[in-house]
Structure 1
Amino acid sequence: DVVVTNITCSGSHGLSVGSLAKNPGATDTVRDIVVKGATMIDSTKAAGFKLYPGGSSHGTAIVQNVTWSDVMVQNCGYAFQYTACYNEQVIYCTAKPSPAQVTDINLVNFSGTTSTAHAPTTAEVLCPVAGSNCQI
């Protein structure tokens, strides 16, 4: 278990889980993570996931029971960003979707404002192919 409480971050890439499934033949496992009481300022995202796609040049991941709660967003690009196509082109990810198993992801009580970088969008979920890695 990992528990993070009452953290303030400024100018970061956000509170990210990942990059997962980068190494061929490997399985990255992440379970039981709680982030509670975070203030995210001027970051690319407040919270998010980064999963590499499938194929022989990448591995896989198992992600279970990850919760962000009471997150204050101040001028971040996204409040939440999830990609199952990290560091690759969408056409590659469509042909070789991530085999990751992602379950029990919880976003609770996010508040504040995002920047105008992606306005009016405040969150992004990038899943080129529907599957178990996009059931969040």
Structure 2
Amino acid sequence: MGHFNFFSVHHFNITGVTITAPDDSPNTDGLKFGSCSNIHISNTHIGTGDDCIAILSGTTKMDICNVTCGPGHGISVGSLGKNKNEKDVNGLTVRDTVFNGTTDGIRIKTWEHSASKIVVSNFLYENIQMINVEKPINIDQKYCPHPPCKTKGESHVQIKDLKLKNIHGTSKKKVAVNLQCSKSFPCKNVQLIDINLVNKGTEAGPATAVCENVHGSSRGKMFPRHCLK
């Protein structure tokens, strides 16, 4: 299963760590955090068959820099909302990081029918390189890994105050930016600044963006063209 699991850990630094697992190894998360705060991760390489870094309920004030992720499922927040009594997640910074051959890069996932109402807020992703990533930017508020899910509904997890700045590289799929937010709790104040993602997959045509129930703004270079309201 996971390599390093942290629960209720505070003021902790991780640097100079290498984690290696095959890309087809199930549930081999690299670093997993729940109810943690003031975590700093730097100069680390993670290759797994699941999330390179998983950030779960109640985790706050996390700084990730100079990390290489690949293979794996990217740096994932969630899944969130499945269980009662989950806590807010806020204060995440991811910068100067490379995703190489991963299924996802920037990823937030919440269950489409939530048992808890929590807030995901104050995230900054800056200076991120994508190299042949299937889903470079992926907010999925209809997360359901084993359909059909028992209960259909809208996610009650509120995502707000996200800034994505200088995200560049190549996508293995045409949809390079997927912002699929909750109808009941739309994503708020999502800022896209200088995005440049090129489709290098088998599907022809330029990279595209898909937005559902997301409000925000954009400036600078924007490729694919944004679809924010």
Alignment of 1:111-126 (within 5 A): 111-115=168-172, 118=173, 120-126=174-180
Q: Could you tell me which residue of structure 1 aligns to residue 220 of structure 2?
A: none
For 1:67 and 1:52, how far apart are their aligned partners in 2?
22
Q: Could you tell me which residue of structure 1 aligns to residue 76 of structure 2?
A: 16
**1:43 Cα deviation after fit:** 0.4
In 2, are the aligned partners of 1:100 and 1:133 still within 8 Å (CA)? Answer: no
Residues 121, 90 of structure 1: alpha-carbon distance in 2 compared, 3 angstrom cutoff: farther
In 2, are the aligned partners of 1:33 and 1:65 still within 8 Å (CA)? Answer: yes
Alignment of 1:90-109 (within 5 A): 96-109=153-166
Alignment of 1:1-136 (within 5 A): 1-23=61-83, 25-54=84-113, 58-87=115-144, 96-115=153-172, 118=173, 120-127=174-181, 129-135=182-188, 136=190
Quote the sequence identity (%): 23
Larger RCO (CA under 8 A, 6+ residues apart):
1
In structure 2, stretches of 5+ residues that fail to align are 1-60, 191-229
Instruction: Kindly indicate which of the two structures has a greater share of residues assigned to helix.
Output: 1
> What is the aligned-residue RMSD (CA, Å)?
2.2
- TM-score scaled by length of structure 1: 0.83
For 1:109 and 1:92, how far apart are their aligned partners in 2?
39
Residue-pair matches, total: 128
In 2, are the aligned partners of 1:46 and 1:79 still within 8 Å (CA)? Answer: yes
**1:71 Cα deviation after fit:** 0.4
**1:36 Cα deviation after fit:** 0.6
Letter in 2 for 1:130: K
For 1:44 and 1:98, how far apart are their aligned partners in 2?
23
CA deviations over 1:11-56 (Å, ceiling 9, x no partner): 1101111111111x2233101000011100000111110011235x
- TM-score scaled by length of structure 2: 0.51
In 2, are the aligned partners of 1:84 and 1:134 still within 8 Å (CA)? Answer: no
